């Protein structure tokens, strides 16, 4: 089924929140998922992969412990949302020209954050993992390698360089067509953010009072 990008963003935000991310990080997850879909990459699948891994471990154990040469997390596996936000936040802070991230879940989710870094730095950024070379100019993505390498669940090491040449970019999309099971995964996590309906909340919570049938 085809979804509007606002639908993708809305469900991604709720799903991330349901999986235990803070509201601010859930907003990042939503924008990142949308950004991938705009570039024709299945962001819904990437997010579903991350949420399934994070569920239980908790995102705080999958955050960079520091921002030295090789980023590692407490639990071993690294969350691409936490690493991505850190990448973007530190873009204009340090002079580091190369960052390495260990054991990164769904590495493709790092791309939207690299794009945010590009928009602050004004230079293209290149990501490399498992034979994939992905360059972003902040808006579009140029790939060297097959699309299916993109969707790997985990990369042993991802290297990020502040340099790159944009060649033929992926076509931009204004709809998303995620896999049904991934969409269901996001809905399952999102459901955790909904309060169970009670008769009291039905009557009071939305302010029913005077008749609404007149």
Partner 1 sequence: MASFSPVAKPRRDPKRVMQLARLGSAHQCRLSFQRILTRRMAREAWVFTRPVFEFNALGVGHAIYTAQGPERAYSLIAFGHDLPPEQRSDRVIATAWDATFTLFDGIPTTDDIQRLAKNIPLQEAGRVTQTEISVSRANRSVRLWAHFVDCLSEGRQPDADKTEAVGYLMRTTAVYGSGKLGAADYDTLSTRPEMGVPFQAEMLSVFLTRGFVRDLINHMAHAKGGDQAVKLDASIAHQLGIGNSTGLGLAPYIINHPMLFNNWIMAREEAIARVRSVRTATTGETSQFHQLVRRSQASVAAWQSEHPIQIAKLADLTLDMKVLIEHLETVDLSIGYPWDHLVNWSETALSTEGQELVTALILEPYGDLVDGLADTMADTDTEAFYINGAMPISQFRELIETAYGWALSLDWNDRKNCARAWYVSEEKLEPRMGERFEEPLNDYEQPLAPARDAAAAHQALAGWDGDKPIAEFLLIHPEHRHTIRRAQISSDAPYAEIRDNTIAADVLPIDFLRVKLAFFGATKFDPRSDRWVRICMYAGAPYPDELTAENADLWVYPEVSS
Q: Determine if 173 is a binding residue for partner 1 (CB under 8 A).
A: no
Q: Determine if 171 is a binding residue for partner 1 (CB under 8 A).
A: no
Q: Of these, 11, 15, 53, 82, which contacts partner 1 (CB under 8 A)?
A: 82
CB 80, CB 102: distance < 8 Å: no
Q: Determine if 95 is a binding residue for partner 1 (CB under 8 A).
A: no
Instruction: Please count the other Cβ atoms lying within 10 Å of the Cβ belonging to residue 135.
Output: 24
Alpha carbons 156 and 170: distance in angstroms, whole number: 25
Q: Which one, 52 or 60, has the nearer CB to partner 1?
A: 60
Q: Which one, 31 or 72, has the nearer CB to partner 1?
A: 31
- Min CB(56)–partner 1 separation in Å: 17
Stretch that binds partner 1, among 23-31, 103-111, 143-151, 181-189 (CB under 8 A): 23-31
Q: Is 119 helix (H, G, I), strand (E, B) or coil?
A: helix
Pair of tokens at residue 88:
């973007």
Using alpha carbons, list the distances in angstroms from residue 114 to 18, 30, 101, 137, 173: 25, 15, 13, 9, 19
Alpha carbons 85 and 69: distance in angstroms, whole number: 17
What are the two backbone dihedrals, phi and then psi, of residue 156, each rounded to the nearest 5 degrees?
A: -60, -45
Q: Determine if 69 is a binding residue for partner 1 (CB under 8 A).
A: no
Q: Which one, 119 or 156, has the nearer CB to partner 1?
A: 119
Q: Which has the closest alpha carbon to 63: 21, 98, 96, 30?
A: 21
Q: Of these, 43, 59, 80, 107, which contacts partner 1 (CB under 8 A)?
A: 59
Dihedral (CA of 50, 55, 59, 63) sign: negative
Q: Which of residues 129-168 bind partner 1 (CB under 8 A)?
A: none
Q: Of these, 23, 70, 156, 184, which contacts partner 1 (CB under 8 A)?
A: 23
Looking only at the bridges linking them, the beta strands covering 70-71 and 98-105 are parallel
Q: Which residue has the tokens 């340099």?
A: 163
Q: Determine if 210 is a binding residue for partner 1 (CB under 8 A).
A: yes
Q: Interface mask (CB under 8 A) for partner 1, residues 26-55, using x and -? A: -xx--x------------------------
Which residues in this chain contact partner 1 in the complex, by CB under 8 A?
1-7, 21-25, 27-28, 31, 59-60, 63-64, 67, 82, 85-86, 88-93, 116, 119-120, 174-175, 191, 193-198, 200-202, 204-210, 212-214
């Amino acid at each position: 089924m085809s979804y509007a990008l606002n639908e993708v963003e809305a469900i991604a935000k709720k799903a991330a929140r349901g999986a235990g991310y803070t509201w601010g990080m859930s907003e990042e997850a939503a924008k990142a998922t949308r950004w991938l879909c705009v570039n024709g990459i299945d962001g819904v699948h990437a997010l579903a992969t991350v949420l399934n891994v994070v569920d239980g471990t908790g995102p705080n154990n999958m955050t960079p412990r520091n921002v030295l040469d090789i980023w590692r997390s407490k639990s071993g596996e690294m969350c691409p949302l936490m690493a991505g936000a850190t990448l973007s936040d530190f873009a204009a802070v340090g002079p580091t020209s190369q960052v390495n991230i260990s054991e990164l879940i769904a590495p493709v989710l790092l791309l939207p954050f690299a794009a945010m870094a590009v928009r602050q730095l004004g230079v293209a950024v290149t990501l490399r993992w498992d034979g994939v070379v992905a360059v972003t100019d902040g808006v579009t993505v140029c790939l060297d390698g097959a699309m299916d390498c993109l969707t790997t669940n985990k990369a042993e090491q991802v290297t990020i360089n502040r340099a790159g040449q944009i060649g033929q970019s992926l076509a931009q999309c204004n709809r998303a067509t995620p896999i049904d099971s991934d969409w269901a995964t996001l809905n399952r996590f999102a459901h955790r953010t909904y309060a169970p309906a009670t008769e009291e909340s039905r009557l009071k919570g939305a302010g029913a009072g005077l008749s609404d049938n007149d």
